[in-house]
Amino acid sequence: MRISTRGFKEAVERFQQMADAPQRQQEFRRVLVDALEPIRAEAARNVHSITGRTVDALTVAAGASPTYPSAYLKIDRNIAFAMWRGKKFPYPFAVEAGHGGKHPAEAHPWFRPAFDSKRAVTRQMVRDGIEQFLHPYVTSLSVGGEFL
């Protein structure tokens, strides 16, 4: 699942042209990570777990690319897993979607509802971050963009 915002690519290109681009990109990565926090928190609230490993497995971090700021929210498969046929099986995915087999279980969505309910908040946080970082570089003679 991805969240996209119009103007994001242009904003990144603008950051790269700035003299203080490396520092600004680090700050912007922090905005992106912070913007995913509402989804992570809502997903954690949606989990009905005895062990709590699913909540512990929810990870928000900055992307690794040095030139393109990004962030991700993932379920760490090394934290929330069960051994199945000698391999680690990340069970949060089976809880989300349900599964068949000898002991079938119906779906208990916890991640998708969090994503759907907090997507607008995340988008707005990214838009506000873009606006905040571009504001010092915009003059009254500039042609601006609208981030919707």
pLDDT digits (tens, 9 = 90+) for 1-17: 666 666 777 777 766 66
Instruction: Show Cβ contacts of residue 78 under 8 Å, excluding neighbours closer than 6 positions.
Output: 88
Residue 143 — pLDDT band, cuts 50, 70, 90?
very low
Closest to 42 measured CA to CA, from 57, 63, 58: 58
Residue 93 — pLDDT band, cuts 50, 70, 90?
confident
Place of tokens 């922090």: 30
Quick one: average pLDDT of 44-53?
Answer: 81
pLDDT digits (tens, 9 = 90+) for 98-135: 888 888 989 999 999 999 999 999 999 999 988 887 77
Other CB atoms within 10 Å distance of the CB of residue 114: 22
In 1-148, where do the E strands start and end? 58-62, 71-75, 82-84, 87-89
Alpha-carbon span 60 to 120, nearest angstrom = 18
Of 1 and 64, more confident? 64
Residue 118 pLDDT: 96
Residue 142 — pLDDT band, cuts 50, 70, 90?
very low
Which segment of 37-46, 67-76, 130-139 scores lowest on mean pLDDT? 130-139
Place of tokens 């087999």: 101
Residue 112 pLDDT: 94
Sketch the domain layout of the chain as residue ranges: 8-137
pLDDT digits (tens, 9 = 90+) for 18-43: 666 667 778 888 999 999 999 999 99
